[in-house]
Structure 1
Amino acid sequence: MELARYHIQSERAITGIASQRPEMTIRQRPADMEIKQELNGNLRISSTAAKLFINQTEAFADADLKGPLRRSNEWHSSTKQKVYQYIAKTMREGEQYKSIENGGNAIANVARQNGERAPKSYNVSTVPQPFRVKIDHVPSEVRVQADWPEPSIRFHKNEPDITIPKWQSNVYIQQKNAIHFSVTGNQVDRGL
């Protein structure tokens, strides 16, 4: 005997989600810059003259072009030297004359020394001698002074424009839930 059977068939609900995600936008404007500068600076240049010193005193002295003071100083020095030489010569001759009593030939020796001519000496040189002219130089000085005003630079930053649209999600029921009952077979056991 075939018993009746119950069949239960259920269907689950299916939900659906529809979402909208628009794009975010960012716009950044460049910063504003302002530069101000006055073009009226001062430039000062000053210089001193260069100096050249030429001393030809020794070159002129070689050519016997001397001043009176220098000439008198040289004459005084040479005269003093000649006096000392004459005194020394006279003392030597006096020592020789003292030897006359010993039978020496002192007078003839002194006459011979005084009668001899000194050998002539020759000297070849240029007038003036090299490196007698003294040259000295003081260079010039150049001073540069510039007064230039500093520029005035200002920046103004611009904030970025950020647009973030709202994301939306819509939840909906795509399929409803359902239960179906069915009976198969035609006999039912009532004794149970």
Structure 2
Amino acid sequence: MNIPQIRMESTFAKIGIETSSGNMEIEQPPAEMSIEQPKAEMIIDRRPPRLTIDQTKAFEDVLLKSVFRMTEDAAQEGYQQAMETISNISQEGDELMMIEYGFSALSAQAQRNSETLQADINIGWIPSHNSVRINYDPGETNIRWNTRPVNIDVRPNKPMINYTPGKTNIYLQQKNSLNIDFEI
């Protein structure tokens, strides 16, 4: 017995897709930049140090005096001795005036004038202590700076962009179909 048969044959539709990728190129040129730094100015005010050593008194102690100082000292010593001599003469005159009161002025004066003076001997330091004078001024230094600001000039460049968009192509690669066949 033959049974009738139906045969169905179908194919599905197929879609095809073709794509091409997009492309982007970016190039960034460097910025143009200039930097200028003016020099700073340094100002120095200075008073130099000073050392003074005065040895005049030490030289005088060892009799190394200047001619002017020796002349001045000799004149002073001569004046002093003249004043002492005038004083002694005046005193002896006063003593002689009082001879009437029974004072033996002549014998006392003779004895005084005949005695030799004793030398004054003592230990001393030559030159004397603290005879050298030292004076020191440390001076002074002042430093000032005049600074100037930095000049910076920057000019940026725009980026160069090259873009190619991607493409997509969609098409029907295979059509759908339905075949029906039957047998009796």
The TM-score with structure 2 as length reference comes to 0.56
Q: Distance in 1 between matches of 2:130 and 2:6?
A: 144
Tell me, yes or no, if the aligned pair for 2:55 and 2:132 is still in contact at 8 Å: yes
1:2 and 2:2 correspond: yes
Aligned positions, number: 136
1:18 and 2:22 correspond: no
Q: Distance in 2 between matches of 1:144 and 1:26?
A: 54
- Shifted more, 140-149 versus 161-170: the winner is 140-149
Q: Distance in 2 between matches of 1:144 and 1:124?
A: 51
Query: Any stretches of 5+ residues in structure 2 without a counterpart?
Result: 77-119
The code of the aligned residue for 2:33 comes to M
List aligned pairs for 1:36-75, cutoff 5 A: 36=36, 44-56=43-55, 59=58, 62-63=61-62
Aligned-pair identity in percent equals: 27
Tell me, yes or no, if the aligned pair for 2:16 and 2:170 is still in contact at 8 Å: yes
Query: Any stretches of 5+ residues in structure 1 without a counterpart?
Result: 72-119, 187-192
Q: Distance in 1 between matches of 2:37 and 2:56?
A: 60
Indicate the SS of the match to 2:58: helix
Q: Distance in 1 between matches of 2:131 and 2:122?
A: 22
Structure 1 139/180 Cα, relative in aligned 2: closer, same or farther at 3 Å?
same
Bigger proportion of residues as strand: 2
- Show the counterpart of 1:133: 132
Q: CA RMSD in A?
A: 3.8
Indicate the SS of the match to 1:7: strand
Q: Distance in 2 between matches of 1:164 and 1:16?
A: 26
Deviation at 1:123, TM superposition (A): 3.4
Q: Distance in 1 between matches of 2:37 and 2:173?
A: 72
Q: Distance in 2 between matches of 1:170 and 1:14?
A: 14
Q: Distance in 1 between matches of 2:130 and 2:173?
A: 121
Structure 1 14/28 Cα, relative in aligned 2: closer, same or farther at 3 Å?
same
Q: Distance in 1 between matches of 2:173 and 2:148?
A: 77
What whole-Å deviation, never above 9, does each CA across 1:101-150 have from its counterpart, x for those lacking one?
xxxxxxxxxxxxxxxxxxx976374x114654231211333444454543
The code of the aligned residue for 1:155 comes to V
Q: Distance in 1 between matches of 2:146 and 2:8?
A: 102
Tell me, yes or no, if the aligned pair for 2:31 and 2:154 is still in contact at 8 Å: yes
List aligned pairs for 1:68-83, cutoff 5 A: none
What whole-Å deviation, never above 9, does each CA across 1:164-192 have from its counterpart, x for those lacking one?
432221111111101111123x3xxxxxx
- Show the counterpart of 1:159: 158
Deviation at 1:61, TM superposition (A): 6.7
